[in-house]
Amino acid sequence: MATPDEPQAPDLAPDLADEPELEATASGHKFSRPWEEPIDEADEESAGSTIGDLLPADEDIPLSEQLYLSATTAEYRDLAEEISRSGNETDPGPVAATMAGIGTGLIDFGDVTGHPNPSEEELEHIEQTAASDLTLRVISAVVLVGVFGLTLFLRGWFFTSFIGFLMVVALAEFYTTLRRNGFVPIALFGLLGVIGVAIAAHLGGPGPMLVTIVLVMLAVMAFYTIVPRRRPLDNAALTVFGAAWVSLLGFAVVIGRATNPIPLILFLVLVVAIFDMGSYFAGRVMGRHPFSPVLSPKKTWEGYIGGLVLATAAAAFLSTVDYFPLSLNQGLVVTLLVVVLSPIGDAAESLVKRSLGVKDMGAVMPGHGGLLDRLDGLLFVVPAAFLFFRETGLL
C-alpha cells in the first residue's frame, strides 16, 4: 500500500486487472499464467483434468485458450519435469510424458506429426506388404542360389556362362543408373567387354582378362576421338570404370577352371554369406554405432563384430570337414579376406550410389534391389581369394 505522500506509479496496463489470467493467491502473489499457480494436494485431481472432463458431453461450448490452459496444467508440468530429469541424466534416453490434449479429442496424433493416423486397413496393408517383400526376398535368393549351385556342379562353360550373365546384368544396371543421372556411357562397348572378360578368364586366366579391359579402354577412347559427344571425358571414364569394376567377378571363372574348384568356391561363398547374415542380425539386435555414418548409416560396428565372430566360427568348423581342402589357418585367412574386403566393396558401391543419388542400382532381384547390390562385396573378395588360393597351391 502506497502512503498518501508517495507519488502513485502510472498505470501502464489499465486493462490488466480485467484479464482473467491474473489471479491473486492467499499470499498476495500474482501469476501471469494459470499453470504457474501452485496446486494444493486437494486440488491435484481436478487440476489434472483434461478438456474431455471439463466439457459437458451434450453441449457445444466454444473452446477458449483460458479453458485449454487450465485443463492441461498437469500435462504441461509432467512434460517439463520429464524433460528436466532427462537433461540431468548421464546417459540421456527418450522422453516419455503425456502431451497436453493428446487422446482427449482436442488434438489428434496427426496434428502433432502432420500426417493423419493410418486406418486399420492401411496398417493391414503395410503388414501384408512387409510380409510380401520378405517372401520375394527369400524366393529370389533361393532361385539365384539354386542356379548357382547347378551351374557350379555342371562346371565348364555352364558356370562360365552363369558368371558372364551376372556380369552383364550388373553392368547393365550400372549403365542404366548413369543414364538416369544425365551420363551417356557407351553401353555396347562395356557389355561386350565383360562378355569378353568371362571368355578370356575361361580360356586363359588373369592375363587375357586384363588385355580385354585394355582393349575396351582403347575402343572407347577411339570412339570419342572419331565421334564428337557431350562430356566425352566423363562418359568414357564411367564406361571403362563400370566394365573394369564388374569384371572383377571374372576371377570366379578362373577359380572354376581349377582341378577341384567346387569345395573352394563353396567355402568362400559360405563364409561370405554367414558373415553377411551375422552382421545383419547382430546389427538389428545390438547395433548402435554406425560403421560408416556417411556411406552406410544402417550398418553398425556391433553388426560387423557379430558377423566377424560368426564367420570365424563357421570357417573354423568348415576347415575340419574333409570335403574342404583348406586347413584351419587357411580357412582363417580366407575369413580375414572376407571380413576386411567385403565391407570395403559394400562401401565402394554405397559411395557410387550416393554420388548418383540412388538407393539401389536396380530392381532385377525382387525384395533385394539390384544384382550389383548383392555382388558388391564379392567383387573385392573373389580376386583376393583367387590370389590366395593360387599362392597356397589350392588351385
Residue 132 domain-assigned?
no
Residue 382 domain-assigned?
yes
Same domain, 103 and 213: no
Domain count, the chain: 2
* 350: nearest Cα among 308, 391, 296, 390: 296
Residue 338 domain-assigned?
yes
Same domain, 167 and 100: no
Least confident range from 36-40, 118-122, 291-295: namely 36-40
Residue 134 domain-assigned?
no
pLDDT tens track for 192-210: 999 999 999 999 999 999 9
Residue 380 domain-assigned?
yes
Residue 155 domain-assigned?
yes
Note down the domain range covering 245.
Answer: 141-391
Beta bridge partners of 296: 292
Whether residue 221 is predicted with pLDDT greater than 80 in this model: the reply is yes
Same domain, 57 and 148: no
> Higher pLDDT residue, 208 or 126?
208
Please compute the mean of the pLDDT values over residues 21-31 and round it to a whole number: 46
Task: Compute, in degrees rounded to 10, the torsion defined by CA atoms 102, 103, 106, 108.
Answer: 70
> Higher pLDDT residue, 225 or 75?
225
Same domain, 343 and 281: yes
Residue 230 domain-assigned?
yes
Same domain, 102 and 202: no
Question: In the prediction, which pLDDT does 4 show?
Answer: 46
Same domain, 103 and 160: no
Please compute the mean of the pLDDT values over residues 38-67 and round it to a whole number: 50
Same domain, 50 and 179: no
Q: What's the pTM?
A: 0.67
Residue 125 domain-assigned?
no
Same domain, 162 and 37: no
> Higher pLDDT residue, 232 or 12?
232
Please compute the mean of the pLDDT values over residues 329-345 and round it to a whole number: 96
Please compute the mean of the pLDDT values over residues 99-118 and round it to a whole number: 51
Whether residue 150 is predicted with pLDDT greater than 80 in this model: the reply is yes
**Cβ density class 55-89: b for 16+ within 10 Å, e for less:** beeeeeeeeeeeeeebbbbbbbbebeeeeeeeeee
Q: What count of residues does the chain have? A: 395
Same domain, 255 and 309: yes
pLDDT tens track for 81-93: 666 665 555 555 5
Across all residues in the chain, what is the average pLDDT?
78
Same domain, 104 and 154: no
How far is it, in rounded angstroms, from Cα 228 to Cα 184? Answer: 13
Same domain, 104 and 216: no
Question: In the prediction, which pLDDT does 238 show?
Answer: 96
How far is it, in rounded angstroms, from Cα 110 to Cα 87? Answer: 27
pLDDT tens track for 57-73: 544 555 555 555 555 55
Same domain, 163 and 104: no
